[in-house]
Chain A
């Protein structure tokens, strides 16, 4: 069980795409900083739906004016981020 943390925009960099090609279904995906723009990405958005656990840092989404409509994606706080990093065995920063 790995928590994959992405922080770059999927429109600028391929970190999220590379991660999605390799992620295991029991792993978690956390979108922080400019990676919150992933919910605007038409093709990647549907790939996020296929994962069991997708988290997005609420502060980063709110700051950028990004609305998360999908019920599949869980909005989390910084405190919950810390909790997740303990819940998963490892954290991988892409």
Chain B
């Protein structure tokens, strides 16, 4: 029995290691994709810091979960949106991120979110 597919937005606002939100949202995205749901990932505010390619969490004995972002494309999660303003605010260039992403302007975020049937915020 196949469930009808829903469009689901996962919104990441938290930095990577202060709390487990980042790891949990990624687990959720991969799990939803296994159930053939149409997942889009959004990274805003400190959430963009999760994508920095220069991370090395082994020095604080934390799991290097950012390496799993590279698996998103194999789970057919292709819509990965990153807030341009949040990157600029933190002096981060798109070339410093670990995966290819779509940059979005502040004002376009709500437009993209309004197309989604469900939203989850981490």
Contacts and interface: CB of A to CB of B under 8 A. Distances in A.
Contact of B62 (A9, A37, A63, A67): A63
Interface in B83-118: 89-92
B75 interface: no
B121 interface: no
A83 interface: no
A60 B62 CA distance: 11
A37 B56 contact: no
Interface in B37-92: 45-46, 49, 52-60, 62, 89-92
Size bracket of the A interface: 10 to 19
Contacts of A34: 15, 17-18, 46
A37 B91 contact: no
Nearest to A57: B60
A34 B16 CA distance: 9
Most B CB within 10 A of own CB, among A9, A12, A63, A64: A64
Nearest to A11: B46
Interface of A: 7-9, 11-12, 33-34, 37, 40-42, 59-60, 62-67
11 contacts: A11-B46, A12-B15, A33-B17, A40-B91, A60-B60, A63-B17, A63-B56, A63-B57, A64-B55, A64-B57, A67-B54
Given A11-B45, A63-B55, A63-B57, 17 more contacts: A7-B18, A8-B18, A11-B46, A11-B89, A11-B90, A12-B45, A33-B17, A33-B18, A34-B15, A37-B49, A40-B91, A41-B90, A59-B59, A59-B60, A60-B60, A66-B54, A67-B54
